[in-house]
Amino acid sequence: MRTFLGEPWRAWAALAVGVLAVTAHAASSVVLSVLMKSIAADLGWSRSEFAAGATTRILTMTAMLPFAGQLVDRLGARTVLTAGATTIGACVLAISRVDSLGRFLAVSAVMGPGQACVGAVAASALVLRLFRRHRGIAVGLLNGGDNVLSAMLPPATTALLAGVGWRATLAALGGAYLALAAVTCATLSAGDGRARAGGGERPPVGFRDLPWGDGRLWLVVALYAATYAWITAIQLHFHAFQTDRGVDPALASRLLSLYLLVGALGAPLFGWMAERTSARTALVAVTGGLAVSSATVWRVEAPAALVAWAVFHGLVNSGVVAMLALVLEECFGTARIGRLLGVAMVGCMAATMLGNQAAAWIFDTTRSYLPAWRACGGLMVVATALASWLRLRGAQAAGSKRSGSRVGP
């Protein structure tokens, strides 16, 4: 078998598809963030009404996530990713023709299950099961590559919006999703990313064998719920927040693009750190960094300071996203990784719904995003404390294991 850096070429090809899939998961949110003010103004909606579309989509996506993980474990990544990309493509094309809030909400509800099937659950399971020596770096590249591609979306969306309007911009995005479905079918093999049991036995694919009684699982869910509330709120509302402060729309788009682009370095960096130390140690570092970024976002106004904030936030933002799969794999192994990711992402998406809607409601009520960012700062302090506790539990378990393996006094 031909290899590169000790990994088969098939694994690297699957990683490239995974990068496209993770980008596809976030692309609609990034594009709609830039288009929010134009769509809402054109159709006469408030920001809360527009945000309700994202909330509806996230709600149906959240309900589907555990089953998407189960489908990956049972059927493999090709089937799940192809179905997801096709669904999202059709829905984005439908949104490009929407003319009422009710239709927008209905299409958003259908898009949610498609997003559950495209993104980190399937892509992370695919990469973790195909890579052997460099899982940390591979997962980092998975998220870092996503940041490179996602960084191109805000300026491209702004340019298309100015040139052809929001409807044609969404039509182009829908076509890109359908192209992804074709690329996935052509590149992946049917069994890539599927759970495999030894001795030719069928692997368990239900939920009964998941570690429901293990406190580490709930620590991971709780701390990632806190981080995703902040990550999603700032991503969806960053452009509007900056332009409301008087920042030029083009500069706001470049700042959003910059912090996404910097993630191309942050995710592999923290993946490498996870390989050298542990995923839980890297998780403490990135959650602490997010606590700092959440405490400073409303304090920086000068262009140079905004650029510095975007660079720092981009590094830690991408790092914390990459750590989820690695922490779950470090704690529980890969045999159930698809289902574990699906379950953990339910908590993440529930927090995403609350964070997005709360930020929009706070703005509509107070005409300012500052109370939202202050609340997120408190959440990130809690997340850092939970990550430290998870790391301590891992160190205690490792020490007990070493003590139990000693022979003699």
Q: How confident is the model at residue 110 (pLDDT cuts 50, 70, 90)?
A: very high
Task: Please check whether residue 228 lies inside any domain of the structure.
Answer: yes
Residue 400 falls inside a structural domain: no
In the predicted structure, residue 401 carries a pLDDT above the cut 60: no
pLDDT above 90 for 270: yes
pLDDT at 148: 77
Q: Would strands 3-4 and 7-8 be described as parallel, antiparallel, or unpaired?
A: antiparallel
Per-residue pLDDT of 294-311, as tens digits, reads 999 888 888 899 999 999
pLDDT of residue 395: 60
d(C-alpha 56, C-alpha 53), whole Å: 5
Q: Report yes or no on 76 lying in a domain.
A: yes
How much is the pLDDT for 383? 93
Residue 8 parent element (H or E): strand 7-8
In this prediction, residues 133-144 reach a mean pLDDT of 86
For 152-160, what is the mean pLDDT?
86
pLDDT at position 396 is: 56
- Mean pLDDT computed over every residue of the chain: 86
Q: What is the spatial distance between Cα 365 and Cα 360, in angstroms, rounded to a whole number?
A: 9
**pLDDT-based confidence at 397, cuts 50/70/90?**
low
- Paired with 7 in beta bridges are 4
In the prediction, which pLDDT does 115 show?
92
Look at residue 409 in the predicted model and tell me its pLDDT: 33
Instruction: Give the mean model confidence (pLDDT) for residues 38-47.
Output: 87
User: What's the total number of domains in the chain?
Assistant: 1
Which pLDDT tens digit goes with each residue over 321-345?
889 999 999 999 888 899 999 999 8
CATH number at 313 reads 1.20.1250.20
3-state secondary structure of 98: coil
pLDDT number for residue 15: 93
Give the structural domain span for 177: 7-194+212-395
Is 401 among the domain residues?
Answer: no
| Residue 178, both tokens | 């359908």
Each residue of 273-283: pLDDT tens digit?
998 999 999 99
Portion of the chain with pLDDT greater than 90, in percent? 41
Residue 152 DSSP class? T
Q: How confident is the model at residue 1 (pLDDT cuts 50, 70, 90)?
A: low
Give the per-residue pLDDT at 260: 74
What average pLDDT score do residues 337-365 get?
A: 87
Rounded Cα distance, 384 and 391, in Å: 11
Single-letter amino acid code for the residue at 150: S
Which residue type occupies 88? Answer: I
- pLDDT given for residue 261 in this prediction: 79
Q: Which amino acid type is present at position 221?
A: V
Determine, yes or no, domain membership for 246: yes
pLDDT number for residue 7: 80
Is the pLDDT assigned to residue 407 strictly greater than 50?
Answer: no
Query: Is 407 a domain residue?
Result: no
Residue 89 scores a pLDDT above 90: yes
Q: Do residues 21 and 114 lie in contact, with contact meaning Cβ atoms separated by under 8 Å?
A: no
φ/ψ of residue 7, rounded to 5: -120, 145
Indicate whether 201 belongs to any domain. no
pLDDT at position 198 over 60: no
**Res. 204 pLDDT band, cuts 50 70 90:** low
Statement: residue 199 has pLDDT above 90: no
Question: Looking at residue 2, what is its pLDDT?
Answer: 66
pLDDT at 134 exceeding the cut of 60: yes
How much is the pLDDT for 112? 92
Instruction: Check residue 236 and give its pLDDT.
Output: 81
Amino acid in the structure at residue 12: W
Is residue 203 in some structural domain? no
